[in-house]
Amino acid sequence: MAHSATPAPMPSPARPHGSRQWWALAGLLAVSYGVAALGALASADAGEVYSALVRPGWAPPAWLFGPVWTVLHGMMAVAAWLVGRQPDRLRVRRAHMWWSVQLALNLAWTPLFFGARQFGLALLDIVLLLAALATTVVLFRRLSRTAALLLVPYLLWVAFATVLNASIWQLNP
């Protein structure tokens, strides 16, 4: 006996494939690296300022910051892109909102620290950044484990930078 059953519909992907996804990634990379570029402009003399500071013995050399931030900003963008591909639009919007908050706090830190040399205000900013970033990691984890894992090195770096900022503020009254 033959059945004429209608096949079950194929599940649709969370987000459309193809060039639209790559444009989204390109846009997020542009935003993330745009923030990095604005930070670099705001701290054109950062190497000189950093070298002139009394720093703890465990402070990294000035040349290390550029390569580290280049990698971290790329990872931030890829993480946001992975989250953006998820189907739960409400959760994605909330996670991307926190990603944007942490990015704005990231942008504010450089002019506060290097431009204005307001180490105490920079410390307040980076503590807020650390909290916003931790929230972002939790929200990203609910949508994409890979996206959350991509942010872990950034979270660790910001935690280290927070302690460094506090030490510099203490050593440079």
The CATH number of the domain holding residue 161 is 1.20.1260.100
67 occurs within a structural domain: yes
77 occurs within a structural domain: yes
Per-residue pLDDT tens over the stretch 104-122:
999 999 999 998 999 999 9
Reading the block at residue 107, the tokens are 């942008």
76 occurs within a structural domain: yes
Domain count, the chain: 1
4 occurs within a structural domain: no
28 occurs within a structural domain: yes
Mean pLDDT, rounded, for 126-143: 98
142 occurs within a structural domain: yes
146 occurs within a structural domain: yes
Dihedral of the alpha carbons of 46, 51, 55, 60, in degrees to the nearest 10: 70
- Taking the C-alpha atoms of residue 72 and residue 117, their distance in angstroms, rounded to an integer, is 24
DSSP 8-class letter at 144: -
12 occurs within a structural domain: no
Q: Which residues of 82-104 are buried (b: 16+ CB within 10 A; e: fewer)?
A: bbbbbeeeeebeebbebbebbbe
User: 149 vs 39, which has greater pLDDT?
Assistant: 149
| Residue span of the structural domain in which 49 resides | 20-171
pTM: 0.85
Q: What angle do CA 80, 81, 85 make, to 5 degrees?
A: 115
